Amino acid sequence: MTVGELLHRMSAQEFSEWWAFYQMEPWGCEVDDFRAGLVAATVANTSRDAKKHKKPFQPSDFMPNYETPPVPEQSPEDHERIMGMWGRVWEEKFDMGGS
């Protein structure tokens, strides 16, 4: 689904509710990687030589380290387009179109 389709199909209130739910119960690749890392750390710690590895393994020891791609700079046209989208959301939410 594109951003335009999302703005057309989902109200700002529904988006806010999904965002709040995600803050309480996150999902996605990072959470899945943590779960796999937790299992791997548990297995590794059951056979860890405490003399060689004094500190127990942590889930992060088994998780991929994704590099964050650089964020491209936004042009004035990008800002205008984004503000236009927010304006349409605002008008829909508060019915400022006069209808």
Q: Is the confidence at residue 99, as pLDDT, over 80?
A: no
Residues 6+ apart with CB under 8 A from 41: 56, 57, 58, 59, 61, 62
Q: Per the confidence metrics, is the pTM higher than 0.75?
A: no
Out of 1-5, 33-37, 61-65, least confident range: 1-5
Residues 6+ apart with CB under 8 A from 91: 97
Where do the domains of the chain lie? 29-64
Q: Would you state the pLDDT for residue 97?
A: 55
Residues 6+ apart with CB under 8 A from 73: none
Which pairs with CB-CB distance under 8 Å and at least 24 residues apart come from 91-95?
Answer: 92/11, 92/12, 93/11, 93/12, 93/13
